[in-house]
Amino acid sequence: MRRLVLALMLPVLCLSVQAEQTGRISGKVLNKEGKPVPGAKVNLKRTDRAWTKDLFPDKSGNFLQVGLEPKEFEMTVSAPGYVDFKEIVKIPLADVLVKNITLLTPAEARTAAPATGGTQATPEDPGAALDAEGRDAFNAAIPLYNEGKYEEALPQVDKAYKTLTEAMTKLKDETTKTELAPELLKIERVLGICIAQAGTKKEEAEPYLLKALERNPKDERVIAGLIETSKAKADKAAEQKYTAMLEAIQGPNPDLIYNKGVEAFNAGKTREAKTQLLKVLEVDPKYAEAHYLLAMVEFGENNLRGTKQHLEKYIELAPAGKNAATAREMLKDPSLKKIH
């Protein structure tokens, strides 16, 4: 009986010994303000053999990796717009190593030593200050750009593009220049979009947008920007071309078609307006404003039945719409009331 008990206990002992063979690392990646860093990546690389692993912190900046051998690893923490953090770490046996990392922008790294024990080197280079200044400007613009506040973002994006373009001519470190080149292309794209959507001279965005479109022919924001530059240049052919490109990706846009109908209606081209407005309703049968404008077209053509149908549909879809009061008043007209 004693032998049997020993045999039953052996698997448990084996499991316990196995669990003691590894360790883990956890921590947070934050910026100087204590906020999570967007796009951060933690890379762990064994120093004794070819093994590497990328970790991506969650939205709170937390990262965790279990099952690591108790060896030395080179840990590199990186994020767009920040100086890389590097440190050699030793994973403890059957325990957790906690590493909370504060990433610094190039400007911050020049004036503050990191408190985590790693290294964040700021190169002494004639273009380094420009590089830091440009990246800081772009980082300030990105939240505004992502919220669609193009007019507010534009000055910072313009500054970033000009400063980083100058930095490219003055940087001596070839690695830094190589890393900056693709970032500059991204900024060029954002600059073109901001100019097209909020600039005083929208046509100036075209060169930037055309280069961005060449890199990605399905970039919807870029194509939308080119539609705006075409309008600014009064280039109808280009506007139609880019609108068709956008529709091929997104499907027909009822707002764009409706705007064409409004333009035609205001120009007195009622037949063209009617064609565009009917297209709107093919894409979106519940587009209330298209029904209202169609009622106006039908009324102008003395089609009272069509006028009444579209007015009633408008009120059904938008009972509190901006034209609801006018629509109700028109429907009181005896000539429309008697139509069934």
Q: Evaluate whether residue 134 is within a structural domain.
A: no
Residue type for 181, please? A
Q: How confident is the model at residue 35 (pLDDT cuts 50, 70, 90)?
A: very high
Token pair for 37: 């860093």
Task: List the CATH number of the domain containing 266.
Answer: 1.25.40.10
Provide the whole-model pTM: 0.50
Distance CA 218, CA 210 (A): 12
Same structural domain for residues 219 and 165? Answer: yes
Angle at which helix 150-170 crosses helix 174-198, to 10 degrees, equals 150
Range of the domain at 201: 142-250
Q: What is the pLDDT of residues 129-169, one digit of tens each?
A: 888 889 889 988 999 999 999 999 999 999 999 999 999 99
Does residue 69 belong to any structural domain of this protein?
yes
- Reading the block at residue 134, the tokens are 């440009």
Domain end among 250, 283, 314: 250
Both 169 and 233 in one domain: the answer is yes
The answer to whether position 297 is within a domain reads: yes
Express each pLDDT in 42-89 by its tens digit.
999 999 999 999 999 999 999 999 889 999 999 999 999 899 999 999
Same domain? For 236 and 262 the reply is: no
Q: How many domains does the chain have?
A: 3
